[in-house]
Amino acid sequence: MKISKGIAQHVKGAKDKMLSLSPKRRMPPKAKGRKSMHNTCEVPSVELSGELSVCDPLTELRIATAEVFYACLNDHDLRGAKSVLADDVTFEFRALDGSLVHEMNWQDFREETMKIFNSFPDFANKPKSIREGQDGTVKVHYAVTSGTHSGTPFAFGPFPPIEASNTRVVNDPEDVRLTFCDGRIRRFAISARGEMVGPAGLYTQLGGFPLV
């Protein structure tokens, strides 16, 4: 897929920021079983609330890394998105009450996302802001998924596929807490702000689950 000029400039700007903040590391190196000097491998259990008052260089580097991921995701460039993720990255999806609904590894996330790309050629996941959180995390605030079903039939789980009819869908927003390890994103803790979220939200808006 040809990268749009705007997305290319956004990715370049974020990567340039990463390089300027961490000249010796360049793009974050893959973790090889060593401990991070910044203890970034710790996975804190904190809520999505409150930000630090000052952005230090390491935090700016993490924010730039998150910006690269979302820029690549919105350009449907999963290879580029994977380049800033840890090998053992996990995606946790939580309901309105905070309970864990589902957890995915990269392979599962990639396969599910490719299906969405094929069904929604203009798929986008646009956060309202990306800023520092607590204890070395980055908070992605009010991320809204949208797209037009003009591609392949879209199915969810064991339920039947729905043929494309150019239906425009917009999911409820989500908040995401990113945890890092050795400069790469290790965990996405995704918290719903409504009921229409994820692939199930897209499927429901297309007319799925008529008897549920």
Tens-digit pLDDT profile for residues 164-211: 999 999 999 999 999 999 999 999 999 999 999 999 999 999 999 864
Mean pLDDT of the chain: 82
Nearby residues of 29 by Cβ (< 8 Å), 6 or more positions away: 182, 183
Beta bridge partners of 80: none
Q: What is the mean pLDDT of residues 70-83?
A: 97
* Structure-derived torsion over alpha carbons of residues 95, 98, 100, 104, reported in degrees to the nearest 10: 70
pTM of the model: 0.77
Residue 6 has pLDDT above 80, yes or no: no
Higher model confidence: residue 12 or residue 60? 60
Beta bridge partners of 190: 93, 176
Higher model confidence: residue 50 or residue 124? 124
Higher model confidence: residue 48 or residue 75? 75
- Specify the pLDDT at position 57: 86
Dist. CA 87–CA 84, nearest whole Å: 10
Where does residue 43 fall: left (phi above 0), alpha (psi -120 to 50 degrees), or beta otherwise? beta
Task: Delineate the domains of the chain, giving CATH numbers in brackets.
Answer: 5-26+55-205 (3.10.450.50)
pLDDT of 126-166, one tens digit each?
999 999 998 899 999 999 999 999 999 999 989 999 999 99
Nearby residues of 2 by Cβ (< 8 Å), 6 or more positions away: none
Q: 56: pLDDT confidence band, cut at 50, 70 and 90?
A: confident
